[in-house]
């Protein structure tokens, strides 16, 4: 009898949960220069390219044993030098993201526990270190248990996120003003296209899930079509939530009012403060905190699951309790220690992740697909689009690298509101 495969929804939730992180709050601010139509086109373009590059990883992954991750695949198809570059960029991104989520999740955990444990007569101050430790240990336990445990808990988190999202944005979505959304009441400069390149790297980070592809190949027992559907469904869920969030914010807050929000790097408190002139936002702050917490937790689970399977493949740890424990310690200890030493580095850490992510989430997958088709003429699963799509994705990666370097050295026009 064939073993029943896990549900399609479970894999999609892992993908969506990994992609939808707290970085989503930066999207309306980062794309304010493009404004609504331009930002939606940039998000759709990025969604298409990132989903396709994820499927290219799947295509290559299916030619290797179950459990094989990037280290094995890249080394065999692209050689040692490419594997070293890819491994460094992948480990850097996943560890940096894990650190960033521990620091931000730890902060929210600290505040939540202090409120729950404090009374009128006794104020409890646990401290950020305890919050980070509790957040990391509880969620790491799910990764240690199994991919199925991550699937189940991520599904609960995503359902909570969707409920919190619609509760917090219901008022915004029903009060969208077309003149604001299409900027017909514009003040100040009216150009949009010059801000396209600056927005692309932020959109790219919003669709990062690629470290989970080898995990899903293992989870679905090498059923390529099932993995493909879970990737497409998961990234579509992320895209829909991003579009609704853009609609809610950019349909209520005029383009020229983004100046104070941009000045504070898209801080959610600054965003709510700017919105408060146009709509009641008191209730939103509480619900968005819950949304952010669940988004951080689900992204943490997805990112660390990919890192966990990569480390297991790199060090050839088996799936026994001892093997999973060793993998867990290498996965979680370095970013946890870093978080305890430097508890306020979330924004800086996320900023450094984008450039390295472009290498292993866009350019390397395209190169893997090209090398894979030469080495394995008999393909059981092939990504659509032939060689054209390979170069289309490489161009997407190059555009993002150029944009990030140009922005860092001041060569790109930046919208100031």
- Would you say residue 65 has pLDDT above 70? yes
Q: Mean pLDDT for the chain? A: 87
Say how far residue 408 (Cα) sits from the centre of its chain: 21
| Residue 187 burial (C-beta neighbours within 10 Å; 0-12, 13-18, 19+) | exposed
In 3D space, the residue among 259, 352, 278, 295 whose CA is nearest the CA of residue 29 turns out to be: 259
Helix (H), strand (E), coil (C) string for the chain: CCCCCCCHHHHHHHHHHHHCCHHHHHHHHHCCCCHHHHHHHHHHHHHHHHHHHHHHHHHHHCCCCCCCCHHHHHHHHHCHHHHHHHHHHHHHHHHHHHHHHHHHHHHHHHHHHHHHHCCCCCCCCCCHHHHHHHHHHHHHHHHHHCHHHHHHHHHHHHHHHHHHHHHHHHHHHHCCCHHHHCCCCCCCCCCCHHHHHHHHHHHHHCCCCHHHHHHHHHHCCCCHHHHHHHHHHHHHHHHHHHHHHHHHHHCCCCHHHHHHHHHCCCCHHHHHHHHCCCCCCHHHHHHHHHHHHHHHHHHHHHHHHHHHHHHHHHHCCCCCHHHHHHHHHHHHHHHHHHHHHCCCCHHHHHHHHHHHHHHHHHHHHHHHHHHHHHHCCCCCCCCCCHHHHHHHHHHHHHHHHHHHHHHHCCCCCCCCC
349 falls in which pLDDT band (50, 70, 90)? Answer: low
Mean pLDDT of the 41-59 span:
97
- Would you say residue 2 has pLDDT above 60? no
Mean pLDDT of the 9-14 span:
91
Q: pLDDT per residue over 87-128, tens digit each? A: 888 888 889 889 888 888 888 888 888 888 887 778 778 877
**Structure confidence at residue 61 (pLDDT):** 95
Domains identified in the chain and CATH numbers: 8-409 (1.20.1740.10)
192 sits in the region (left: phi over 0; alpha: psi -120 to 50; else beta) called alpha
Stronger pLDDT, 162 or 367, i.e. the higher one? 367
Cβ–Cβ contacts within 10 Å for residue 373, how many? 17
Mean pLDDT of the 2-27 span:
82
- Would you say residue 46 has pLDDT above 80? yes
Token look-up 């650190």 returns 99
**Structure confidence at residue 284 (pLDDT):** 77
Q: pLDDT per residue over 380-411, tens digit each? A: 899 999 999 999 999 999 999 999 899 888 89
**Structure confidence at residue 292 (pLDDT):** 81
What the block records as the tokens of 163 is: 């409920």
Mean pLDDT of the 355-370 span:
91
Q: pLDDT per residue over 150-171, tens digit each? A: 988 988 998 898 898 888 888 8
- Would you say residue 139 has pLDDT above 50? yes
Least confident range of 7-16, 330-339, 345-354: 345-354
Residues 6 or more apart in contact with residue 351 via CB below 8 angstroms: none
- Would you say residue 31 has pLDDT above 50? yes
- Would you say residue 60 has pLDDT above 80? yes
Predicted TM-score of the model (pTM): 0.86
Say how far residue 251 (Cα) sits from the centre of its chain: 24
What the block records as the tokens of 206 is: 């919003």
Q: pLDDT per residue over 282-300, tens digit each? A: 777 778 778 888 888 988 9
**Structure confidence at residue 348 (pLDDT):** 61
Taking the alpha carbons at both ends of the chain, their separation in whole angstroms is 62
Residues 6 or more apart in contact with residue 404 via CB below 8 angstroms: 201, 354, 355, 358
**Structure confidence at residue 272 (pLDDT):** 77
**Structure confidence at residue 258 (pLDDT):** 87
Q: What percent of the chain has pLDDT over 70?
A: 95
Rg from Cα positions in the chain: 21
1 falls in which pLDDT band (50, 70, 90)? Answer: very low
Least confident range of 63-72, 137-146, 198-207, 351-360: 351-360
CB 60 within 8 A of CB 372: yes
Mean pLDDT of the 137-159 span:
91
Quote the CA–CA distance of 238 and 205 in Å, as a whole number. Answer: 12
């Amino acid at each position: 009898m064939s073993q029943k495969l896990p549900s399609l929804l479970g894999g999609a939730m892992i993908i969506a949960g990994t992609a939808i992180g707290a970085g989503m709050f930066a999207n309306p601010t980062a794309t304010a220069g493009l404004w609504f139509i331009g930002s939606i086109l940039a998000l759709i373009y990025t969604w298409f390219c990132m989903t396709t590059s994820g499927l290219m990883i799947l295509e290559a992954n299916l030619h290797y044993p179950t459990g094989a991750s990037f280290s094995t695949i890249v080394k065999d198809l692209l050689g040692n030098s490419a594997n070293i570059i890819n491994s460094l960029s992948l480990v850097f991104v996943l560890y940096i993201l894990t650190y960033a989520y521990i620091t931000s999740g730890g902060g929210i955990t600290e505040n939540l526990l202090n409120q729950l444990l404090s009374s009128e007569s006794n104020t409890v101050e646990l401290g950020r270190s305890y919050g980070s430790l509790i957040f990391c240990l509880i969620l790491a336990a799910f990764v240690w248990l199994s991919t199925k445990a991550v699937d189940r808990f991520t599904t609960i988190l995503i359902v909570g996120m969707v409920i919190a999202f619609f509760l917090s944005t219901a008022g915004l979505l029903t009060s969208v003003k077309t003149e604001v959304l299409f900027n017909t009441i514009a003040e100040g400069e009216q150009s949009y296209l010059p801000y396209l390149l600056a927005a692309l790297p932020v959109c790219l980070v919003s669709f990062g899930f690629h470290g989970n592809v080898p995990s899903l190949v293992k989870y679905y027992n090498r059923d390529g079509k099932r993995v493909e559907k879970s990737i497409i469904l998961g990234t579509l869920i992320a895209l829909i939530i991003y579009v609704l969030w853009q609609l809610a914010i950019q349909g209520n807050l005029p383009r020229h009012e983004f100046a104070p929000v941009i000045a504070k790097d898209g801080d959610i408190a600054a965003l709510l403060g700017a919105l408060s002139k146009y709509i009641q936002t008191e209730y939103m702050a509480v619900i968005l905190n819950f949304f952010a917490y669940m988004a951080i937790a689900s992204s943490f689970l997805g990112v660390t699951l990919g890192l966990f399977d990569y480390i297991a493949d790199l060090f050839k740890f088996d799936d026994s309790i001892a093997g999973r424990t060793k993998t867990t310690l290498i996965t979680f200890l370095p970013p946890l220690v870093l978080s305890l030493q430097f508890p306020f580095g979330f924004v800086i850490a996320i900023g450094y992740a984008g450039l390295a992510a472009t290498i292993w989430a866009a350019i390397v997958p395209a190169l893997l697909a090209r090398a894979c088709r030469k080495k394995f003429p008999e393909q059981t699963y092939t990504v659509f689009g032939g060689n054209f799509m390979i170069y289309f994705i490489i161009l997407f990666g190059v555009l993002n690298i150029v944009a990030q370097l140009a922005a860092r050295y001041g060569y790109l026009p930046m919208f100031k509101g």
